[in-house]
A and B are shown apart, each in its own frame.
Chain A
Amino acid sequence: MRIFTILLLFFGFNQLMYSQVQKNTFSINYSNISRTDALKKIETSTNYKIYFQDDWFDPTVLISGDYSNKTIEELLSKVLEDTDLNFFIDRNRIILTKNSIVYSKLPSNGTKDSNAPIFFQQYDSVKKNKSEAIAPIALIGKETLDSDTELYTLSGHITDLKDGKPLADITVKAKNTTSSTITNAEGFYSLKLPTGLSTIEIESIFHNSASRKIMIYSNGTLDFSIIEKINQLDEVLVKGKDSQNVRTAITGVTTIEAEGIKNIPLVLGERDIFKVALTIPGIKTAGEGSSGFNVRGGKEDQNLILLDNATIYNPTHLFGFFSSVNPYTINKVDIYKGGIPPEFGGRLSSVFDIVSKNGNTEKISGEGGIGPVTSNLTVSIPIVKDKASLLVGGRATYSDWILKQLDDEDLKNSQASFYDLFAKYSHKINKNNSVEGTGYYSKDAYSITPDSIYKYSNSLVSLKWKHAFNEKNRSELNFTNSGYKFSINYESANPESFLFKFKINETKVDLKFNTELNENHKFTYGIESKLYNVSPGELNPNGAASIVSPKKVDDEKGLESAVFFSDKFTITEKLLLDIGARYSLYAALGPSTQKIYEDGVPMTPSTVVEEKTYGNNDVINTSGGFEPRIGLRYIFDESLFVKAGFDKNYQYIHLLTTNTTQSPTDTWKLSDLNVKPQSGLQYSLGVFKKLEYKDIELSLEGYYKTSKNILDYKVGANILLNQDLETELLQGDGKAYGVEFLLKKPNGRLNGWIGYTYSRAFIKLDSQFNDEKVNNGEYFPTNFDKPHDFSIVMNYKFTHRYSFSSNFVYQTGRPVTYPIGKYYYQGAEYTMYSDRNKYRIPDYYRLDIGLNIEGNHKIKKLAHSFWNISIYNVLGRNNPYSIFFVTKEGQIKAYQTSIFAVPIPTITYNFKF
């Protein structure tokens, strides 16, 4: 092709003839034929012979035309409309050229003329010295004779060569110029370039750099496919959104790339994105075996965990030892612990925005892992080449089978099993439209005593339609439905056997727009509406002999709607303001019966003065509010910038737990007449510094939060099946503050990060009544108040195939309520407890180590394999998870429980094909 062009050029210059002398006109008509056929038709109806290459034309593009008395130039212009082709007429020969124009006259010498022809061969010598592997010069656009602009726009998409997925945050720049840009989420970039030859360079941390020489004639497109770096051992494990962090004004954002976490030591051989999240300053859990997270001093129910935009109510399997989302299906997780973008709402503390992978549209590929407790497999199947694919993933445990093999009678009768399934279909309809659909289901079953079985499951469906109106206006329409349910099946021979069920379902629709008004204003706005349906509890007799009478607590319904708007306002090059707000409105809906309690006395079942009945969809009450979300970023210089934020959030749904930590059998409660919505305010400030030395990044962030109407309980509250639940609840004020320090070395043989957080979280439960007061109505530390939190994650790469990784965690022990005395009551001794959370359990620390062995690096092989050998809790530290006290035979005994008191070695085999 290249040689052909050059030949044509030489040919053209030698002839130096211009075809205008012949002014013959022709009449021709054709309909729905390809351009090739149209040209052939011109050939047959004129005496011209047209030279071109067949592959310049797309045979599927059909054209029609009806012309009379047109010159050959006019006819050819029509046929070649919308192509990159030019033509040159030499007597009865017509030569088509790609991109370039064959000039019949040499340009006049002297002054620079914007219409100066671009002579190709003047650069030709440059290429000859390069190896053959260099991609040919890409010719962009169509040269025009009357072009008067010096800069043209080059745009295109950057995709992963392997699976065709669009790549975001890739730097695209023109060599030796200041022209540079970054791809957006769709992998799209757009760059202003001068005419003529440029070198486009593509840079990415995860991908090999690429460069390509291009010849710009006019606006045009150029797509790149780039190859992932095969050796990922030196990759950044957690990207603090390097570029993103500078680019946005939002505070407290972290991104975890699923691919990047494989080097972190594992528990029971399971790669787990949430376990990695816990090493990030500000994110904690009450202990091993707890189902939830505490983000910046917030309760477990204050985190919005989204998988492809749909809420996951219980993000864990097996009491929190595994995350409920198969890590092989995850692309990345964005964690917002500070500023929450206005498009998200409904939870006070954080958003975990999990985005799944798109399938490979080119070939079948897959990934899997075999571990001691679970195995999983994810396969990607192309449906329509380059357009549509299906990704399916499954994971299951064989712990049940193992339990059955044991001799121990107790263990033999117990069970613990889980599985999860994932499927995603993605289809790129055209440049402007794409659709995605995700389905997910997870299920757990376990028994602690032989006569009862606990089961819980998450399910979700998510549909997404992305539409681009043009380069500057895009929209996204989402529909999601997610559910969580659990049941307790008590099957004893006694007449009180029962089946208890809980269920929550959420249906959400949102429509979001992105508008780039100009360089300085980028808008995101939209609407969102969520419908909650909660079945708080249903008890049914289990078996004919059971005398348990069916009991059901009335269903709850609520509609949470919001409008949101935000503007990324670039005030100056250095000052970026992300100003936005959300207005949320919640309506508790009937059918329902709401109790009205006497004023001025504690709420108890005996102080009900009235019961109000509401019909289906009758509004019980509404609440809502304005939620400003403001972020500010100021860049001092390339290596130093600061951010500040102010955020307000409302939350209308509460998790009820009598346990100190979240457990699968906790129920959700909607706000209503007697339970007020929670609200929270956060002020945050961060300083970020990049050191010249070894690319080390430092960040220091601080926050202060206040919250209202945080739910707590009276001592020994009875939550399940309680028709008068509000009489057991207390709502109080929360207060939290902290400083988070992170040092990160993203690159090099030795890489990893060190995080330290000092933080406090308090709650105040005050009332005019003694039995609604805790700790005399003063602020006291919450269950998850752990002032000091220190973690190190480190990788050391010995060779391309072997690397060592380790992680160390230290945390202050969490608060506990200790017995401080005893009393004698009705024949037995009981414990007299201290003020709530006055003491602390011993500090927590743990060291894990791992060795990662990559398979060989031959490009052509069946599967890419990866071994991970790791030891969890190498020091065998007996970390107390909890301390509790039992009155047994009239004596108080103290016990501590620990989950992994011994080192747990595991070996996992992962493969990719």
Chain B
Amino acid sequence: MKTIFLRFLTLSILSTIVGCTTPYEYQTNGFDDVITIEATITDQLKTQEVKLTRTYKLEEKTPTPETKAVVFVTDDKGTRYDFKENAGTYTSINEFQASTGRTYELHIRTQDGRSYISSAEKLPQQTQIESVNVAAVTKEGVLGAEITVNSTDPTNSSKYYRYEYEETSQIIAPKWYKQQLVANNGTVSFQPRTTEARICYTTEKSNTLLLTSTSNLAEDKVTNFPVRFIPSTDNFIRNRYSILVKQYVQSLAAHTFSETLKEISNNGSILSQTQPGFFYGNIKSVDNPSEKVIGYFDVSSYSEKRLFFTYTDLFTITKPPYPYDCPTDIPEIDLGQYFFNYCFSTNPNAGCQGNLIVEYIKTKIKVFFPNDGSLYLLYPIECGDCTSFSSNIKPPFWID
């Protein structure tokens, strides 16, 4: 009885407090084709980059690039930095850097003759990342590696920070063998591997807005700001891992734009929602001031720091499995998927699988791994050749 009573109450309370959130299918008819301008120039001497795309429909997967536009940046001394296009991505013809005290403007003229101009932006205070740290922590019941950043601005003027990161995972193929089978004229033969296939590196970029501000704090000090949390079960950190944390010090207006962007993209709380809507950045259409333009011309001061760690540095538990199933002890029931008889015969009762092996090797579906018996042991290609899903080029920054 008590249970029923509680269950009944639970139902009431649950509905009261948690409510019910379900996915919702929505349909809209309207669509606005609007230019999207992604432009951040920094004080780092490099080929600066501007990306132009168009908004795209909800059912579409990728944006259409805005090609053949004229893009350039000017500063208040009259210097003009021209950009050249490659599939919607515009890069500066020469390397340049934003410098303190100068103001910069972005100019765009699209191929249909529309012109856009940004407001004049100044480089904010330059502040270096102090440190990037990693620690094993438990967050919401999940053990994982948390990467945090620290930064201090003694001048107390940076205040608004945006972070990005690039993370690289080292991959070691468990069933790599120094020799590989090569298919040739309907047979296979062993050859020593000439290229790296055991150790690879996968690099991924952050795709969320990481923002913090120290304007509420007494000191302009970013303390242990969590940039990334990777659960200990994530195979991305199974071996050695590296993260490059990029810090952009923004102006208040640029930060407000980023905050708004972030705010309207995750208004997820059941009882408090923000009013979504369209919002302007600092770029305007020259001819039609009410034309919608998405994007912000951000001039930021830049700093970066890299961190490495190995799974066993942080965790004492068993490391997560390799992303692909490569069993050492093959279950009896699966033996047929791994062991193949390398012979050729026209007699179907002979059990020869030579042609099948040749096919597997030729199409790079399976890879050879030695064993004691006379049968060929073939694993899925990912188990023995990491280039099948990653890159064997060791990044220049990599330290083992």
A residues at B contact (CB < 8 Å): 268, 289, 318-319, 321, 372-373, 399, 402-403, 405-406, 409, 411, 414, 416, 446, 448, 494-495, 539, 547-549, 551, 604-606, 658-660, 663, 665, 713-716, 718, 721, 770-771, 773-774, 776, 817-828, 830-836, 838-839, 878, 880-890, 892-902, 904-906
Contact = CB atoms under 8 A, between A and B. Distances in A.
A551 B289 CA distance: 39
Contacts of A828: 207-209, 265
A293 B270 CA distance: 19
Contact of A887 (B13, B266, B277): B266
A267 to B, nearest CB: 9
B349 interface: no
Contact of A411 (B14, B30, B284): B14
Interface stretch (B4-12, B228-236, B332-340): B4-12
Contact of A416 (B16, B22, B219, B273): B16
Which of B12, B32, B62, B270 has its CB near the most chain A CB atoms (within 10 A)? B12
B154 interface: no
Given A659-B273, A819-B28, A823-B36, 4 more contacts: A817-B277, A823-B56, A830-B265, A838-B30
A888 B221 CA distance: 29
B151 interface: no
Given A721-B216, A887-B265, A658 B274 contact: yes
Which range holds the interface residue count of chain B? Answer: 35 or more
B71 interface: no
A719 B10 CA distance: 35
B261 A834 contact: no
B279 A716 contact: yes
Nearest to B265: A887
Given A895-B22, A896-B21, A549 B218 contact: yes
Contact of A834 (B13, B30, B63, B141): B30
A571 B276 CA distance: 54
B53 interface: yes
B31 A714 contact: no
A824 B36 contact: yes
Contacts of A819: 26, 28, 58, 276
A547 B290 contact: no
B295 interface: yes
Interface in B24-65: 24-26, 28, 30-32, 34, 36, 38, 53, 55-58, 60, 62-63
Given A549-B216, A899-B19, A821 B32 contact: yes
Contact of B58 (A373, A548, A820): A820
B63 A824 contact: yes
Given A372-B12, A899-B15, A884 B273 contact: yes
A827 B274 contact: no
A833 B271 contact: no
A827 B16 CA distance: 38
B275 A715 contact: yes
B324 interface: no
A495 B58 contact: no
A889 B206 CA distance: 10
Contacts of A897: 19-22, 270
B223 interface: yes
Contacts of A888: 266
Contacts of B289: 770
Contact of B273 (A403, A606, A660): A660
B280 interface: yes
B130 interface: no
Interface string B250-285: 001100100111011111111111111111100010
A771 B268 contact: no
B229 to A, nearest CB: 13
B317 interface: no
Nearest to A835: B278
B55 A823 contact: yes
A349 to B, nearest CB: 21
B284 A889 contact: no
A539 B216 CA distance: 9
B279 A715 contact: yes
Given A372-B8, A495-B223, A896-B24, A659 B274 contact: yes
B394 interface: no
A658 B28 CA distance: 25
B31 A821 contact: yes
Nearest to B223: A495
Contact of B265 (A551, A773, A831, A878): A831
A817 B10 contact: no
Nearest to B295: A825
A886 B266 contact: yes
Contacts of B221: 547
A900 B223 contact: no
A597 B269 CA distance: 35
B171 interface: no
Contacts of B252: 605-606
A583 B275 CA distance: 36
Nearest to A890: B207
Nearest to B260: A716
B17 A416 contact: yes
A367 to B, nearest CB: 23
B206 A827 contact: yes
A551 B277 contact: no
Contacts of B264: 715-716, 831, 833
Contacts of A403: 13
Interface in B364-388: none
B284 A770 contact: yes
Contacts of B290: 770, 773, 776
Contact of A898 (B20, B25, B32, B218): B20
Given A411-B14, A820-B32, A884-B268, A896 B58 contact: no
B341 interface: no
B23 interface: yes
B38 A399 contact: no
Closest 4 CB pairs of A and B: A716-B260, A549-B218, A887-B265, A896-B24
Contacts of A820: 28, 30-32, 58
A898 B268 CA distance: 13
5 contacts: A776-B290, A878-B20, A889-B207, A896-B23, A904-B15
Contact of A821 (B56, B141, B206): B56
B16 A268 contact: yes
Contact of A823 (B24, B63, B219, B279): B63
Most buried by B among A604, A828, A832, A890: A832
Given A372-B12, A402-B6, A895-B22, A716 B28 contact: no
Contact of A268 (B12, B30, B271): B12
Contacts of A716: 259-261, 263-264, 274-275, 279
B19 A822 contact: no
A825 B294 contact: yes
A663 B272 contact: yes
B350 interface: no
Nearest to A666: B272
A495 to B, nearest CB: 6
Contacts of A881: 19
Contacts of B268: 884, 886, 895
A247 to B, nearest CB: 42
B53 to A, nearest CB: 6
A446 B30 CA distance: 40
A548 B217 CA distance: 5
Contacts of B18: 411
A402 B20 CA distance: 19
Contacts of A399: 13, 16
A314 to B, nearest CB: 14
B205 interface: yes
Contacts of B206: 827
B15 A901 contact: yes
Contacts of B19: 289, 881, 897-899
B9 to A, nearest CB: 5
A771 B279 CA distance: 7
B209 to A, nearest CB: 7
